[in-house]
Amino acid sequence: MSGIFDLIKNSIGQREVEQVSREVGGNQDATQRAIAAAIPLLLSALQKNAKSRSGAESLANALERDHDGGILGNLGSILGQSNTQSMGEKILGHVLGSRQDNVSTQLGKATGLSSADVTKILANLAPVVMGAVGKAKQQNNLDASGLQDLLGLERKTIKKQQPNLSFLEKALDGDGDGDVDLSDVLKQGSGLLKGFFS
């Protein structure tokens, strides 16, 4: 099966990072770290949402309707655009729901970006993640049940490769009370960035 994380990783290069960085004040280092954390986080959130049969069917329908993966070959012209941002904000509302503020706050603390800038980055990346999931679904001819299996496998693979991401799981599960100690988690060269921006 095609790896969703690999599909995204192979589509995002330095030029795309620079484009997103310009949306949040030009801090490329912080943007790069935020991207490397945000993509597995969004995949994990999708997997959580698709655990139920109804959630998986809803995701499968959304992918078939709007996300065939074409976006992955066109990132240079869509990242940072207002319509991409708008689409991403709607996706975040579905995927993260009430957890969105907590996720943005925790990721902001980890990267040194404001939560508003993190939200912009997440909104830029959400359509990319959905496009990659849609492409993997299409390539592997998956129904809702197959999509559940694919996302579950993807989450296990990411957790094995990136054990530092456990704090993001807490951000998805938590109620926003109390801080997570992120002092070393997202520094340049940590396991989080391993293999992402080579």
83 part of a folded domain: yes
131 part of a folded domain: yes
Burial level of 61, CB count in 10 A (0-12/13-18/19+)? Answer: exposed
49 part of a folded domain: yes
pLDDT-based confidence at 193, cuts 50/70/90? low
Q: How far apart are CA 103 and CA 144, in angstroms?
A: 27
Lowest pLDDT segment from 3-7, 26-30, 42-46, 194-198:
194-198
SS3 string of 73-87? HCHHHHCCCHHHHHH
**Residue 123: which of 154, 139, 100 has the closest Cα?**
100
Burial level of 88, CB count in 10 A (0-12/13-18/19+)? Answer: buried
- Mean per-residue pLDDT, 85-91: 92
Cα separations (Å) of 150 from 43, 50, 64? 11, 11, 16
Tokens standing for residue 24:
């949040």
Q: How far apart are CA 51 and CA 144, in angstroms?
A: 10
* DSSP class of 197: -
Q: How far apart are CA 179 and CA 78, in angstroms?
A: 34
User: For residue 129, what are the domain limits?
Assistant: 4-173
Q: What pLDDT sits at residue 96? A: 92
The number of domains in the chain is: 1
- The pLDDT tens digits of the residues spanning 134-177 come to 999 999 999 999 999 999 998 888 777 766 666 666 666 654 44
Q: Is the pLDDT of residue 54 over 70?
A: yes
- Mean per-residue pLDDT, 79-86: 85
40 part of a folded domain: yes
- The pLDDT tens digits of the residues spanning 106-141 come to 888 888 899 999 999 999 999 999 999 999 999 999
- Mean per-residue pLDDT, 169-190: 51
Q: Taking a C-beta distance cutoff of 8 angstroms, is the pair 8, 35 a contact?
A: no
Q: Taking a C-beta distance cutoff of 8 angstroms, is the pair 144, 60 a contact?
A: yes
99 by DSSP, 3-state: which? helix
75 part of a folded domain: yes
Q: Which alpha helices (DSSP H) does 50-114 contain, by range?
A: 53-66, 75-78, 82-95, 100-111
194 part of a folded domain: no
- The pLDDT tens digits of the residues spanning 66-82 come to 898 889 888 888 888 88
Q: Taking a C-beta distance cutoff of 8 angstroms, is the pair 87, 130 a contact?
A: no
37 part of a folded domain: yes
190 part of a folded domain: no
